[in-house]
Structure 1
């Protein structure tokens, strides 16, 4: 009995390792393939993670059944029926996770590497199994979310993402001069980051009048997950251009009047 359990455990680990290597080879082949009928890289990686999950659960279930086959065979029918009923009740959430996981994959709601919001959690999908989705947020925390509890998903990685840069200038400055300067910065920025930008960066114009200055809004679109980098870089380059041109950015001032 003990020898059989040891042999089965070794076989389980061996099968899972070999299976994972085969799945990884399949995923790598799909990622590198340039054929029109091959899967796109993200889809291939997602399916690979799901296949690994299916393999693991299947091998473990079969292994446990083989290890305790003699024990199960000697259990009375009435006791086995009661036990099966109890296991069935406990397995409802597992079945729900499996079914919902299948639909999440089938409907392509998200994949590995996507930036998503699930319930109260937002982050990058690290892996997607047949029972759980693993999400890492931007603070580094890892969230394991049962697929059965996923009711609403917001996918931030499908389509281009808008970013906004608001530029404040003092009331004393010429609005048209500042706008033209920003447009020239945008043109140079587009050429520099054309691999991450989508379309042209637009200057919407004055959007608000503040106590010490006015706000000019600049809007662009970038590929998913690069919008924050584009926003930071563009804000920096506009600030440097305004400084070189002598266009003042508003700040609190105190005037002392002697009477």
Structure 2
């Protein structure tokens, strides 16, 4: 027993002070460090190149919207990062003497075995490509995806992240996206129903409202054009409901509708004190 221990200790000592072994380990370590450094540099250069390329595109005739540019930049940069790290990982395995061909062959067989279980993943990736290249929505857009509503925080090849205004973050597999409503592409419309209790001259009320509406575009830059008084939407006894519409920049219809109701209340109280304002409500 003691003899075996002594032989093992002697062998370990020989290896510990084997100069050739330490040179090989040092050389391998330096190669690994060099691979990581080169991979990091290539990733940084690739990300910068993608950003500059799309900036040049936006200055040419083939223009790309800022919202889509942000999405494409992030997606392409992620693809570059994953690709370079995968190449670096394979190169490191080869450097330390691991048979890459055997691993790749085994991975191919394993890929066939698990292929049936990864159909959802493939579906998500394909759907993600279509979302991006069809420009269905982009990072920063306010959207409703299926039943989830909020601001798009991130679009990946597999999932889309939507942040609700109350703070919930929804992570939605791209393959499960069936319905998309994008609120950020076109102008919005504020629809205000303003109810009053009045038995007098309705023409006088309409003139006061129309005069007020002409002043609003100068006061609120979110309004695209002069709001329109469509007329009486309905009436019931002494209650008369007027409907007003206003075209606004995207997503500002709620804000403008609130401001219009406030402006109407103040102005009609000032000009026509005989009017009794009742409940106001808004349809968007």
Q: Same fold by TM (over 0.5)?
A: yes
Cα distance in 2, alignment partners of residues 15 and 52 from structure 1? 11
Which of 34, 42, 49 is the aligned partner of 2:67?
A: 42
Cα distance in 2, alignment partners of residues 211 and 16 from structure 1? 72
Cα offsets for 1:160-219 (capped at 9, x unmatched): 2211111111133532222211111110002333x4333431112222235762211111
Going from structure 1 to structure 2, the CA distance change for 1:241 and 1:86 (only over 3 Å counts) comes to same
User: Post-superposition shift, 1:91?
Assistant: 3.7
Q: Which ranges in structure 2 are unaligned for 5 or more consecutive residues?
A: 1-24, 280-284
What is the match of residue 112 of structure 2?
85
Q: Contact 2:199–2:238 at 8 Å: present in 1 too?
A: no
User: Post-superposition shift, 1:104?
Assistant: 1.7
Q: Which ranges in structure 1 are unaligned for 5 or more consecutive residues?
A: 252-259
User: Post-superposition shift, 1:84?
Assistant: 2.4
- The answer to which of 221-230 and 121-130 deviates more is 121-130
What is the match of residue 163 of structure 1?
190
What is the match of residue 256 of structure 1?
none
- The answer to which of 1-10 and 183-192 deviates more is 1-10
User: Post-superposition shift, 1:249?
Assistant: 0.7
Cα distance in 2, alignment partners of residues 86 and 9 from structure 1? 32
Going from structure 1 to structure 2, the CA distance change for 1:21 and 1:144 (only over 3 Å counts) comes to farther
Which of 152, 164, 177 is the aligned partner of 2:204?
A: 177
Which of 207, 225, 228 is the aligned partner of 2:251?
A: 225
What is the match of residue 81 of structure 2?
56
Q: Under a length normalisation based on structure 2, what TM-score does the superposition of the two structures give?
A: 0.73
Which of 203, 226, 231 is the aligned partner of 1:200?
A: 226
Cα offsets for 1:4-48 (capped at 9, x unmatched): 6665555555443443333344455556x4x43332322322221
What is the match of residue 90 of structure 2?
65
May I ask how many residue pairs the two structures share in their alignment?
Answer: 247
Cα distance in 2, alignment partners of residues 117 and 227 from structure 1? 16
Cα distance in 1, alignment partners of residues 229 and 134 from structure 2? 38
Which of 121, 141, 145 is the aligned partner of 1:94?
A: 121
Which of 172, 194, 197 is the aligned partner of 1:145?
A: 172
Cα distance in 1, alignment partners of residues 35 and 118 from structure 2? 24
Cα distance in 2, alignment partners of residues 125 and 76 from structure 1? 37
Cα distance in 1, alignment partners of residues 183 and 111 from structure 2? 43
**Partner of 2:277: helix, strand, or coil?**
coil
1:109-128 equivalence runs, <5 A: 109-128=136-155
What is the match of residue 22 of structure 2?
none
**Partner of 2:276: helix, strand, or coil?**
coil
